Structure 1
Amino acid sequence: MRIHITSFLVIVSLIPCIAQSKFKAKYLEPISAVSLKENVYALASDSLKGRATGSEGEHKAALFIRNQFIEAGLLPYNDTSYFQNIGLWSWRWDDFTFELNDENLSNYDDFVYLSSSPIAEPIQAPCVFIGNASDTILNKIKLDGKIAFILIDNLKRWYSAANKARQNGAIAVVMAHKNDPTSFHTISERLKVMHQKASIGSSKPEYPENSIKAFAVNSDLSKRLFGLSIDSLINLRRPKDIKQLPSPKLKLYCPLIVEEANANNVVAYLPGKNRDKEALVISAHYDHIGEHYNGICLGADDNASGTAAVIELAKAFAPLKGKLDKNIIFIATSGEEKGLLGAFYFADHADEHHFNLKANINIDMIGRLDSTHKANYIYTIGNNHYPEFDSLLHVANNMVEPLIIQYEYNKSQGFGNFLRLSDHYAFHRNNVPVMGFFSGLHADYHKPSDTPDKIDYQEMEKRVKLIFTTAYLAAQKTAFSSQTD
């Protein structure tokens, strides 16, 4: 997009004069460290369990945000609902079956499923011991239609041995560690946490029919299967001796429950004074990464801080209902941690809201101080692509207690390209001018230690006041109205 230079110069000269004359300091009074703190603590509470996309904790957060929008007097984005389902699918494991002689063994105590592909239909077949799956043994023992039992020396690196057995006809693989009985419990505990979490994505999961079906088992199970301990089995190396072992029948079943996900953006708007649909979008993602094996990731900075800011901005703008030239859309997005899914959905489905999106201000992690600053700063992202937005920012910064504007994250490339790593990218991709606000990375990022007590609420208040003032300027008639070609 190229902006006509003449139009741009006119805009830059007009906005400070017109907008500053209308701006009143009282607009900033509702923005306070106290209320920001209250909202961060509410969103990053233990009861929400890290607000994983589509989770019950996220649903509770969505209701909290909706109620805050209603209290501020905002209207539902489509004049019907504050919730925008973003069209995702979720899948989670159902109960696992590992039956020996009609007895279902104990999941995570006796066995654990290693594969990510489900066993959609029960497998019933004899289990055959094949040692360490050496070529000598596999050349003598047929595995077609059978379940292979393998001894390996690293349960974390199970794939190679399992794949070798599958290529030789095994329909499933059971594995035990040859000399470390504790390794089963280690991997079982880790997978137990993973299995209890739902996965979520923009399409139904698909798995190839010939995918590997692999289990790890407690070493003690070998006696129930073959009548011998692992120590005895490990000494069986000749195919002739192995063939004399029993071939117990197993029943294996690991189904997935796949369903449409209840994952929603929370979207409301403040009407402008005109009847047209031009709108400024103020966004922040409210989802986080949920529970991990090492605890609940509360996501206080990422991104309860940004969501609290959106709520605070909604209340601060509420007295200006019907007085600004542009509508202001306030959106708390879901699915950011899964790949900006909620922001992409909103930006790509204009038919669901019919607004003409003129600019986006995105807020993601504004509650902390990074290692290079003590106070009074903010990073901005994306405004290097949009000089008009950058000019508005600097005008706004002169209208409040000024912060040091930092551009370092505009320079990052590759995976560290922060333009692509938060919701503003969904709008930038559609040629909507964007500016992201960010306070920098820290050691608690995506860890249970990202807690509300570590937020600097006084600093956050100053940042939100700058964001409000920038948004106020962006909501003027002359902002983002230049000709493009």
Structure 2
Amino acid sequence: MLKIFLVINVLFWTTLASQDVEYAKKVIGDLSSSEYHGRGYEYNGDKFAAKYIADELKKNGVLSFASDYLQLFSIKINTFPSEVKIKFGDKTPENGKDFIIDKISRGCNGKFELVWLDKITISKAMEMDLSKKFIVIDTSKIDDKKFKENFQAVKYINPLKAAGIIEIISKKPSSYQSQLQGACPVIQVINGVITSEMKALNISFKNKLEKNYKTQNVYGYVKGEVDSFIVIGSHYDHLGRMGNIFFPGANDNCSGVSMTLNLAKHFAQKENAPHYGIIFVFFTGEEVGLLGSDFFVNNAPVSHEKMKLMINLDLVGTGDDGITIVNGSVFRKEFELFTSINKEKGYLKEIKARGKAANSDHYPFSEKGISSFFIYTRGGVSEYHTVDDIAGTLPLTEYEDLFRLITDFIIKYE
């Protein structure tokens, strides 16, 4: 009889885990597709993604604080809605692969002479008229750390008054989001794409600085036995579009969104009702500087005193080498509960503690005195802020075990 019970139990968990992963794959595949425009602020990508998440919460029986699950606010953001065209002589590099337009850039259109500078000649460039020229600096061949740091400032304030700036880099170009519009266009080009023999550039693209862009967090909750809450969150925004390309952001952070939705789906079921209520929140504006989580914690639907704990899930699509818990060395009691569960169940290879860091959406919560953690997986694919962070190569190696670890933690947390 005991053997039969154990077999049924194993089959139940295997089936449940399989369903969790299939649901995760669907969510990640959907939200990282071109239909959602990189979940940025071009073509309402953030709004389409927010509606998708809100619909999933409603479908899975998660309750809403607001009728539409949305928490609205406005941000400032530099966007790039038009096609990007670049040509060096007869060579047309590939947007997102060979080069990236820095998101602080102003739009630009025309043909420009290229002026190649190095660590020595850049000091003489102040005497030159560069108003109709792009300067080119190959930082991939410069080891001087201080020079590289200073050059980053040069890119943004453009003291040389150049028409534009090109930086040659050694690795695949990556992007970010910006609330600022710089003094000129700035382009990162991977080493080997252009050479010093190339003397001219044709370029065309537009930017639009949105000073009051209306965006939204998405949030809902399940009731608990007591009037206190655990907050589980993940950011759904990513890097949007750069003209004719978009950034899928499968791991960053469709993986976290799928895990949070999976947890919401699980705890919304009557048989899994938790002791503490759980607020599930999906943040916009993380890539711009934790704007969504900061807004949420300052406009929370319950008092801070009722928030027992916040768990932030970001970049959880791998796990070959285990997980890291940011703030694990700050909130030792909770961290040790995670590690004791993992030691007993053998879910993950390793759980590492990290100290305080303002690197994801847990931070605004911890700054308000709320015990907060940021969990991310380690090992496996390492695409980050590139066009190759896609669903097809995201392994979800330890997705099931991380799901089990978190659900066990929530059940045992006091």
Which range, TM-score by smaller chain?
0.5 to 0.7
**Gap runs ≥5 in structure 2:** 1-8, 83-106, 114-124, 138-153, 167-174, 187-205
Q: Separation in 2 of the partners of 1:133 and 1:64?
A: 51
User: What SS does the aligned partner of 2:39 have?
Assistant: coil
Q: Larger deviation: 256-265 or 40-49?
A: 256-265
State the partner residue of 1:266: 218
Number of aligned residue pairs: give it: 321
The change in CA–CA distance for 1:198 and 1:450 in structure 2 (over 3 A counts) is: closer
State the partner residue of 1:108: 109
Deviation (angstroms), 1:389 = 0.6
Q: Separation in 2 of the partners of 1:322 and 1:369?
A: 26
**What pairs with 1:92-171 in structure 2 (closer than 5 Å)?**
108-109=109-110, 154=135, 159-162=158-161
8 A contact 1:200–1:261 mirrored in 2 = no
Deviation (angstroms), 1:333 = 0.8
The change in CA–CA distance for 1:87 and 1:378 in structure 2 (over 3 A counts) is: same
**What pairs with 1:34-45 in structure 2 (closer than 5 Å)?**
34-45=22-33
Is 2:39 the partner of 1:89? no
Greater per-residue strand proportion: 2
State the partner residue of 1:62: 50
**What pairs with 1:212-231 in structure 2 (closer than 5 Å)?**
none
The change in CA–CA distance for 1:388 and 1:108 in structure 2 (over 3 A counts) is: same
State the partner residue of 1:436: 374
State the partner residue of 1:473: 412
The change in CA–CA distance for 1:391 and 1:133 in structure 2 (over 3 A counts) is: closer
Q: Separation in 2 of the partners of 1:395 and 1:36?
A: 26
TM-score, scaled relative to structure 2: 0.65
| Deviation sequence 1:41-64 (CA, Å, 0-9, x none) | 111112222112575222111111
Q: Separation in 1 of the partners of 2:185 and 2:42?
A: 29
User: What SS does the aligned partner of 1:261 have?
Assistant: strand
Is 2:249 the partner of 1:299? yes
State the partner residue of 2:277: 327
State the partner residue of 2:399: 460
User: What SS does the aligned partner of 1:407 have?
Assistant: strand
**What pairs with 1:196-275 in structure 2 (closer than 5 Å)?**
201=179, 258-274=210-226
Q: Which amino acid aligns with 1:85?
A: L
Q: Separation in 1 of the partners of 2:282 and 2:362?
A: 12
Q: Which amino acid aligns with 1:425?
A: Y
Q: Which amino acid aligns with 1:360?
A: M
State the partner residue of 2:325: 380
8 A contact 1:399–1:469 mirrored in 2 = no
State the partner residue of 1:312: 262
The change in CA–CA distance for 1:324 and 1:299 in structure 2 (over 3 A counts) is: same
Q: Separation in 1 of the partners of 2:132 and 2:313?
A: 52
Q: Separation in 1 of the partners of 2:14 and 2:294?
A: 31
Q: Separation in 2 of the partners of 1:149 and 1:397?
A: 60
TM-score, scaled relative to structure 1: 0.57
Deviation (angstroms), 1:378 = 2.3
Q: Separation in 2 of the partners of 1:315 and 1:293?
A: 36
8 A contact 1:54–1:263 mirrored in 2 = no
8 A contact 2:339–2:351 mirrored in 1 = no
8 A contact 1:49–1:57 mirrored in 2 = yes
Greater C-alpha radius of gyration:
1
Q: Separation in 2 of the partners of 1:466 and 1:40?
A: 21
State the partner residue of 1:446: 385
The change in CA–CA distance for 1:386 and 1:94 in structure 2 (over 3 A counts) is: closer
Deviation (angstroms), 1:289 = 1.3
8 A contact 1:400–1:465 mirrored in 2 = no
State the partner residue of 1:117: none
The change in CA–CA distance for 1:35 and 1:399 in structure 2 (over 3 A counts) is: farther
User: What SS does the aligned partner of 1:280 have?
Assistant: strand
Q: Separation in 1 of the partners of 2:376 and 2:134?
A: 46
State the partner residue of 1:407: 352
| Deviation sequence 1:45-89 (CA, Å, 0-9, x none) | 12222112575222111111111111111111x243411124323
**What pairs with 1:174-213 in structure 2 (closer than 5 Å)?**
201=179
**What pairs with 1:324-363 in structure 2 (closer than 5 Å)?**
324-350=274-300, 352-354=301-303, 356-363=306-313
Deviation (angstroms), 1:400 = 4.3
State the partner residue of 1:281: 231
8 A contact 1:267–1:330 mirrored in 2 = yes
